[in-house]
Amino acid sequence: MSEKDNPTAARKVRADAERNRVRLLETAKIAFAEKGSGASLEEIARIAAVGIGTLYRHYPTRDALIEAVYRNESEQIMAAAKRLAEERAPVDALREWLLLCVDYMAVKHGMADALNSLVGGTSDLYATSGVQIKKAIAMLVDRAIASGDIRLDIEPLDLLRALAGVATIATGPTGTQAAKGLVDILIAGISTRR
């Protein structure tokens, strides 16, 4: 009875379950970074010394795993958005934030890829990270619009998608450079003044 009334205290999470979850997460982080978001799930399970079934129980879909891996990064990006919004002029904040995203995509090779998975695709997997990122960019964009510095006819997220499009393909320093250049172009393109 008391258990039914207080479902959060139901039963402690089994220690082995938690252990495996963490190991999977760490292994996946490395695998995705190395091989992009298409890395083999069976290999991840193998390296984590865990059965494939265990992987699927913890993370029922590839996207669930991707999201878990990048949740941390997403939160950092989100935090950065908040900080920039407070410290910088609207347009600067937006520019800096986009550049930051490019860096993330560069450092975590495969992050661009992952961002695509999170942010795009079929609606029913718009999970928390995706929503967070969406909120972050919407906040920055709205602020810049309110200030009258920019106008934007497309969905804010599409700015990120464009960046991801470039970063996904051209990896390495060249790609990063290209993506950063694109940031300037985009900012200039949505500015109402020069």
For the bound state, the minimum distance from the C-beta of residue 49 to DNA, rounded and expressed in Å, comes to 7
Distance CA 178, CA 165 (A): 11
62 contact choice in DNA, its own copies, none (CB below 5 to 8 Å, kind-dependent): DNA
The CA-based angle 147-160-164, given to 5 degrees, is: 155
Contacting residues toward DNA, per CB under 7 A: 10-17, 19-21, 38, 40-43, 49-54, 56-58, 60-62
Burial 143-175 (b: 16+ CB within 10 A, else e): bbbeeebbeeeeebbbbbebbbebbbeebeeeb
51 contact choice in its own copies, DNA, none (CB below 5 to 8 Å, kind-dependent): DNA
User: Which CB sits closer to its own copies, 48 or 163?
Assistant: 163
For the bound state, the minimum distance from the C-beta of residue 125 to its own copies, rounded and expressed in Å, comes to 12
170 contact choice in DNA, its own copies, none (CB below 5 to 8 Å, kind-dependent): its own copies
Coil/strand/helix, residue 50: coil
3-state helix vs strand vs coil in the chain, percent to 5: 80, 0, 20
Positive or negative, the Cα torsion across 104, 109, 112, 118? negative
Contacting residues toward its own copies, per CB under 8 A: 116, 119-121, 152-155, 158, 161-166, 168-170, 177-178, 181-182, 184-190, 194
Residue 137's nearest CA partner among 68, 69, 186 is 186
For the bound state, the minimum distance from the C-beta of residue 173 to DNA, rounded and expressed in Å, comes to 28
For the bound state, the minimum distance from the C-beta of residue 191 to its own copies, rounded and expressed in Å, comes to 8
40 contact choice in its own copies, DNA, none (CB below 5 to 8 Å, kind-dependent): DNA
Quote the crossing angle between the two packed helices 157-169 and 172-190, to the nearest 10°.
160
User: Which CB sits closer to DNA, 122 or 174?
Assistant: 122
